[in-house]
Structure 1
Amino acid sequence: MNAAALDEAAALIAQADALVVTAGAGMGVDSGLPDFRGRDGFWRAYPALGRAGLQFTEVASPDTFERDPRLAWGFYGHRLGLYRRTVPHAGFALLRR
């Protein structure tokens, strides 16, 4: 990419009302969060669900709220706790600036 294109992109971003960055799971994993899509990471974060043989997609589903609301709320409550206790790595501060 040439300098003129970078300048144009910077000007457009500066004028924007919002900017959405899709960084994927890597940034969370780099901060210490488990990789919820991988079986091992999911089961490390939720050993009881691993012992029950449940997969991420089975629990992290709107259907779970209807089928087993206690499981769904417990799962998302635990997940929220993980996020609240995790200190984001420096990459998040760079994006914020």
Structure 2
Amino acid sequence: MNKLLPGFSEGFPVALRVWLVFLLCLVLLGYSVPFSIVVGAVGGIAGGWVVAWWNSKDKPKEAPSEPQDEPEEAPVKLSGLALAKQRRDARARKRSQKSSVPLTGLFNRSK
């Protein structure tokens, strides 16, 4: 049974107790004995399984590391005119984003 439900050996005593409690309660409530045995066994197995799961010590699974075939490209360093053009374009984009939203500067105080 341990192959079907790994870790169930810790919950087995609890499963027997839960089965007995279900069996006695169902018989006292007036259900037939075979029905009480079957339903009690199902309840006992479920209870033992939950206890075994609760007491299990799971280790976090490590993601397999993938080997990188190609080295990552280093960012290109700009200088001179190319750097100036990049900065100018960034300022233009920033200005166009600000001006695209209407009434953004309407309530700002000017110093």
Q: Flag whether TM exceeds 0.5 (same fold).
A: no
Larger fraction in helix? 1
TM-score normalised over the length of structure 1 = 0.29
**Larger Rg: 1 or 2?**
2
